Amino acid sequence: MTSNLIVYLIAIPLLSSAVLLLSGRKANKWGHLLGTLASASSFGVGAYLFTQMLAQPTEERAMTQKLFSWINVGSFNVDASLLLDQLSICFVLLITGVGTLIHIYSISYMSHDLDRRRFFAYLNLFIAAMLLLVLGDSYLNLYVGWEGVGLASYLLIGFWNQKPTYATAAKKAFVMNRVGDLGLSLAIMIAFASMGTVSFAGIEEAAPKASTTTLTAIGIMLLIAAAGKSAQFPLQAWLGDAMAGPTPVSALIHAATMVTAGVYLITRSNFIFDAAPTAQLLVVIVGAITLLFGAIVGTAKDDIKKALAASTMSQIGYMILAAGLGPVGYAFAIMHLLTHGFFKAGMFLGAGSVMHGMNDEVNMRKYGALRKFMPITFITFGLGYLAIIGVPPFAGFYSKDMIIETALNAGGIKGILLGSAALFGAGLTAFYMTRVMILTFTGTKRWDDEAHPHESPILMWLPMAILAIGSVLSGFLFTRGDALVHWLEPVVAPHEHGEHSELLPPIVVSGLALTIVLIGISIAVMMYVRRPVADVAPENVSALTKIVRQDLLQDVANEAIFMRPGQALTKSLVTIDEKVIDGAVHGVGAMAIGSGSELRKTQTGYVRSYSALILVGAAAIVLGIWVITQ
């Protein structure tokens, strides 16, 4: 049985991670090799399974592997069981494939870091967790992977945690992810309470019978989860800071794989969203807002990684938008996810390469004219650039165009709004990505003399090149004969064509999109080629620019709404605990002591007052008798 192999997908990197972590410094020499090998073997297993799946007829492609009964209490039965179907294999290949490339890249990129072994251990851990996320056959299994990737992400963002800001960034990411996790766990609870099961298959079966309210509640909770993990509005703030991690991490986790888990979750839960229109509407709203938000933020970033991060956020907004459009959009969401995985990972690696050559400088205003020094990086980065802004025939064109088209066709005013947002986003994307290209590779050199820009070694540029090839070809491959759409059909509900009348014909949409992209590029060229670029960000800019530079005040808002009230609450509760609750306890004690020392004064030491006391006591008793014999 081939399904017995599924567990090895996860087990290999997990085991490798454990070995690397436990073996200590002894493993420093070969740790990175083991890590890469583990990832590659996992990819190998994945590829083999993929071929096996291809060999099966469509209906029999999905396979499950039950490992053991995990939690079994009353009617709450959860097996540790893995599900490999058409949707998860896409992710498996993306994760292990891109993952392996990034492992290879990291061997060189991290070669000077004393803790490279630990880095690889974390990467392996991440791969394992991410695979568990996409392979789990129930929400609870998914949850384990879900938090696992969060943990790996935390560890990797904080890899250089001796720098306090990095450590803070890691913490921020984890906490905001936990907000999302809250949604996921509530979704699971609601599902169990209403349907008595938490497995995908079980819920899919029960969903039609469940009330819309229940499903909407689950849907909203899942959306919160997705928003947390995928840095969607309003839980987007952590992603920019997450760039504190080493660049390969940004490429793998915060561009290609982990952040797209939200898209996976929504796609996987299609049976819930399809039956919960309100939740679906919320999904598209979140997607649309985020894609614009990310794009706008991206226009003002001088930090190359943050600019790419903003772009990631925006692109995932596209995916979420697509996933929110229902059965017509799931495949495109996944497609964009995959193509994005290639080009964004490639670009991040490119950015890493630039930083590698520039003494880890990240400020693009200190770059300029690097094309000559880093030709390979320039080319691979450029291919990714073309893909992301959606120039045909690069991968991004296919996937993004589909999403814009689907959005426009969503029907009515909703369609027009979503479509316009998507189109406007495309223009913005073109603008800021062009800006990145121009600032980094063209123009005049703005770097100091200490920097000696140079091309990266082969171990670094090879993965970049492979990813660049992916960014060029993948879109074409996926859309040829609607390959991906058909591949995914058994998982996401069948595609019902012609449900909505098309608002605009596809060719017009493509044209419109390209025009907007061109406008974006032109503005960028006008702003950054025609005019000299200052090596420090100009201060005399409009208020709007300032706001955009502050990420549209996301951190300010978070601070004002959550952090400060939270801190105030904490402080006041600490005080209340000490003063009021503990104070009451101590008060009782003090009262006892106080009344004790007051009563003690009756013991004056005078015999006569003692006899008076006896007399008073006797009088009181006589009084009592007097009263009761009345």
Partner 1 sequence: MIFNSPALSYSLLAPILIILAGALIGVLIEAFVGKARRPVVQLSVALGSLVLALVQVIRIRNLSSTTAAMGSVVIDGPGLLFQCAILIVAVISIFLIADQDNFTSSAAALPGSDEERQATQSGTVLTEIYPLTLFAVAGMLLFPIASDLITLFVALEVLSLPLYLMAGLSRHRRLASQEAALKYFLLGAFSSAFFLFGAAYLYGYAGTVSFAGIHAALVGGTGNDVILLLGIAFVAIGLLFKVGAVPFHAWSPDVYQGAPTPITGFMAAATKVAAFGAMLRLFYTVLAEAQWQWRPFFMVIAIITMIFGSLVAISQRDVKRMLAYSSIAHAGFLLTGVIALNKAGLEASIYYLFAYGVATVGAFGIVTLVRDSSGEVSDLNRWAGLGKRSPWVASAFAFFLLAFAGIPLTSGFIGKFAIFSAAYESGATAVVIVGVLSSVIAAFFYIRVIVLMFFTDATEDGTSVVIPSILTRLTILISLVITVALGVFPSPLLDFIKPLAIFIR
Partner 2 sequence: MINYALDLGQTAKPEAVLFYILAPLAVAAAIGMLTVKKAVHSAILLAWVMVTLAIFYIAQDAAFLGIVQIVVYTGAVMMLFLFILMLVGVDSSESLTETIKGLRWIAITASVGFGGLLISLLGRATLGRSTAGLADANSNGNVEGLAQLIFSDYVWPFEVISALLITAAVGAMVLAHHERTVKRVTQREQSQARFRSGSLAAAAGLPGPGVFALHNAVDVPALLPDGSPAPSSISATLKARGDMLDSAQYQLDNNDNAAEDK
Partner 3 sequence: MNSANYLYLSALLFTIGAVGVVIRRNAIVVFMCVELMLNAANLSFVTFSRINGNLDGQIVAFFTMVVAACEVVVGLAIIVTIYRSRRSASVDDANLLKR
Interface positions with partner 2 (CB under 8 A): 604, 606, 608-609, 612, 615-616, 618-619, 622-623, 625-626, 629
Assess 629 for contact with partner 1 (CB under 8 A): yes
- Beta-carbon contacts of residue 155 (< 8 Å; ≥ 6 apart): 122, 125, 170
Q: Which is nearer to partner 3, 164 or 605 (CB)?
A: 605
- Beta-carbon contacts of residue 281 (< 8 Å; ≥ 6 apart): 324, 414
Choose the binding region for partner 1 from 23-31, 412-420, 423-431, 620-628 (rule: CB under 8 A). 620-628
The CB-of-579 to partner 1 minimum distance in angstroms stands at 22
The CB-of-587 to partner 1 minimum distance in angstroms stands at 14
Cα–Cα distance for residue pair 99/466, rounded to 1 Å: 12
Binding-residue total with partner 1 (CB under 8 A): 27
Cα–Cα distance for residue pair 493/323, rounded to 1 Å: 12
What's the gap between Cα 418 and its chain centre? 23
Assess 592 for contact with partner 1 (CB under 8 A): yes
Q: Which is nearer to partner 2, 68 or 606 (CB)?
A: 606
The position carrying tokens 């600490």 is 574
Assess 595 for contact with partner 3 (CB under 8 A): no
Q: How far is CA 84 from CA 12, 59, 135, in A?
A: 17, 13, 6
Q: Which is nearer to partner 1, 208 or 617 (CB)?
A: 617
Cα–Cα distance for residue pair 466/454, rounded to 1 Å: 20
The CB-of-628 to partner 3 minimum distance in angstroms stands at 19
The CB-of-597 to partner 2 minimum distance in angstroms stands at 18
The CB-of-616 to partner 3 minimum distance in angstroms stands at 9
The CB-of-618 to partner 3 minimum distance in angstroms stands at 8
If DSSP codes are grouped into helix, strand and coil, which group holds residue 471? helix
- Beta-carbon contacts of residue 472 (< 8 Å; ≥ 6 apart): 383, 387, 393, 394, 395
The CB-of-581 to partner 1 minimum distance in angstroms stands at 18
Q: Which is nearer to partner 2, 592 or 612 (CB)?
A: 612
Q: Which is nearer to partner 2, 592 or 622 (CB)?
A: 622
Nearest to 161 by CA among 73, 39, 245: 245
Q: Which of residues 291-310 bind partner 3 (CB under 8 A)?
A: none
Instruction: Residue 623: name its binding partner from partner 3, partner 1, partner 2, none (Cβ under 5 to 8 Å by kind).
Output: partner 2
The values of phi and psi at residue 499, to 5°, are -70, -45
The CB-of-578 to partner 1 minimum distance in angstroms stands at 21
Binding mask 546-585 for partner 1 (x = CB under 8 A): ----------------------------------------
Nearest to 89 by CA among 124, 123, 47: 47
The CB-of-619 to partner 2 minimum distance in angstroms stands at 4
Q: Are the C-beta atoms of 371 and 442 separated by less than 8 Å?
A: yes
Binding mask 599-618 for partner 3 (x = CB under 8 A): -xx-xxxxxx--xx--x--x
Choose the binding region for partner 3 from 263-271, 301-309, 417-425, 597-605 (rule: CB under 8 A). 597-605
Q: Which is nearer to partner 3, 587 or 624 (CB)?
A: 624
The CB-of-609 to partner 2 minimum distance in angstroms stands at 6
The CB-of-610 to partner 2 minimum distance in angstroms stands at 11
Assess 54 for contact with partner 3 (CB under 8 A): no
Q: Which is nearer to partner 1, 540 or 629 (CB)?
A: 629
Q: Which is nearer to partner 3, 560 or 616 (CB)?
A: 616
The position carrying tokens 């290949």 is 93
Instruction: Residue 393: name its binding partner from partner 3, partner 1, partner 2, none (Cβ under 5 to 8 Å by kind).
Output: none
The values of phi and psi at residue 535, to 5°, are -85, -5
Choose the binding region for partner 1 from 35-43, 208-216, 322-330, 591-599 (rule: CB under 8 A). 591-599
Assess 600 for contact with partner 1 (CB under 8 A): yes
> What stretch of H or E contains 529?
none
Assess 596 for contact with partner 3 (CB under 8 A): no
Q: How far is CA 151 from CA 125, 145, 319, 427, in A?
A: 9, 9, 24, 35
Q: Which is nearer to partner 2, 542 or 602 (CB)?
A: 602
The CB-of-606 to partner 2 minimum distance in angstroms stands at 6
Cα pseudo-dihedral 153, 157, 158, 161, rounded to 10:
170
Choose the binding region for partner 1 from 314-322, 385-393, 397-405, 594-602 (rule: CB under 8 A). 594-602
Cα–Cα distance for residue pair 223/12, rounded to 1 Å: 31
Q: Which is nearer to partner 1, 393 or 589 (CB)?
A: 589
Furthest-apart CA atoms within the chain: distance in Å = 117
Cα–Cα distance for residue pair 240/167, rounded to 1 Å: 14
E strands present in 8-104:
63-73, 76-84
Q: Are the C-beta atoms of 84 and 135 separated by less than 8 Å?
A: yes
Cα–Cα distance for residue pair 602/23, rounded to 1 Å: 74
**Which one-letter amino acid corresponds to residue 376?**
I
The position carrying tokens 């793998």 is 252
- Provide the sign of the torsion angle of the four alpha carbons 316, 322, 323, 325, taken in this order: positive
Cα–Cα distance for residue pair 311/316, rounded to 1 Å: 9
β-strand partners of 26: none
Binding positions for partner 1, rule: CB under 8 A = 589, 592-593, 595-597, 599-600, 602-603, 605, 607, 609-611, 613-614, 616-618, 620-622, 624-625, 628-629
| Site residues, partner 3 (CB under 8 A) | 600-601, 603-608, 611-612, 615, 618
